[in-house]
Copies of this chain bind each other. A is one copy, B any other.
Amino acid sequence: MNVVSYRPDPSEFAWTFGGVPPVMKVKPGDVLELWTEDAFAGKVTSADDVVSRVIELPFVNPQTGPFFVEGAEPGDTLAIHFVSIEPSRDHAASCTLPLFGALTSTHQTATLQEPLREVTWIYEIDRTNRTVAYRARNGDYSVALPMDPMHGTVGVAPAAFEARSSLVPDAHGGNMDTPEMRAGATCYLGVNVEGALFSLGDGHCRQGEGETCGVAVESAMDTVIAIDLIKGRSTPWPRLENDAYLMSTGSARPLEDAFRIAHADMVAWLGEEFGLEMLDAYQLLTQVAETPIANVCDPNYTVVAKVAKRHLPSGEAYARTHAKLKEVAAEYRRGR
């Protein structure tokens, strides 16, 4: 087993998917021990920080990477298994941002109204109880919320020579902001360029579905991933798998198009893996889908279509890739 450790210097952060040279080469089968900075580039440390003043655009949502995967070519699929995701500091932060979020006008949903007030919340992290502490800024309500660490942003270089801001989710992955990207999940990404050039970042100690105000409980993360490459099989939109579920994602506007992409992809996937006829798959999906909204705040909105494996024919997706990467993860844990 080849274990690679990498902690980027701030000067090495990537701010886009695509358009950035790789920080290193890795191989299918490698395990990567990575550190990712938080979406604020580490600049929010106190409830007195006004985010729009401490952040210098476009330097938000720094990514760790990109990594060049040896052998990866357009038409292949990259598999990234999350072995562990753990906050690397004792606090995390969230905030309202002017003209960003689902319950405010934005630069796209443009209105003539005043923006909402900017407020910052600091969450203390309790590693023993695995909670984060919400405290109201007005009044004295506080509550310990379960920690559920995840990466908001995982992706590869896009197709068609594009470079996309790390704030954008699309067919290349990117800023999908789904809580399903937690330890134990495997993410499948279609490869668009030689080497795949994947990056990740935007750790969240937790977030609600939809990431309503646009900002989760943002945290730097120590993250371990195991990677694999599925040659000669393309994946049109990011897919995820964990022990219990197959998941397709869609990222688009309006939100119903994100829903359509995710569910049409799942119909196709059920055909690919289990031979279900298209309308039979459509019917089954209609009755069993679980569909957590990921984000309703980013430049594209993201929806995840989940199907529990217990409702599906027997068989393994992507030729047992998830199972194999879990074995790699187990071996890695034994080796520590």
- A interface residues, Cβ below 8 angstroms from B: 15-16, 18-19, 57-58, 94, 96, 102-105, 107-117, 119, 121, 134, 136-139, 141, 143, 145, 159-165, 167, 206-217, 250, 252-257, 259-261, 263-265, 267, 274-280, 282-293, 296, 301, 303, 305, 311-313
Contacts and interface: CB of A to CB of B under 8 A. Distances in A.
A109 B108 CA distance: 13
Nearest to A204: B287
Nearest to A210: B291
Contacts of A279: 96, 112, 116-117, 119, 137
Nearest to A179: B290
Nearest to A260: B110
Contact of A256 (B105, B115, B117, B296): B296
Given A278-B112, A285-B208, A161 B293 contact: no
Contacts of A115: 113
Nearest to A167: B160
A109 B257 contact: yes
Nearest to A109: B257
Given A160-B58, A255-B255, A289-B208, A276 B136 contact: yes
Given A96-B279, A283-B96, A15 B161 contact: yes
A145 B255 contact: no
B163 A286 contact: no
Contacts of A164: 162
Nearest to A291: B209
Contacts of A292: 290-292
A159 B209 contact: no
6 contacts: A103-B263, A103-B267, A110-B260, A210-B305, A259-B296, A291-B292
A308 to B, nearest CB: 10
Given A117-B279, A137-B277, A212-B289, 4 more contacts: A104-B112, A110-B265, A134-B283, A208-B289
A105 B111 contact: yes
Contact of A252 (B114, B253, B301): B253
Given A208-B291, A257-B110, A139 B103 contact: no
Contacts of A301: 256
Given A216-B286, A267-B103, A276 B112 contact: no
A15 B160 contact: yes
Contact of A286 (B141, B167, B208): B208
Contacts of A208: 285-291
A134 B286 contact: no
Contacts of A296: 256, 259-260
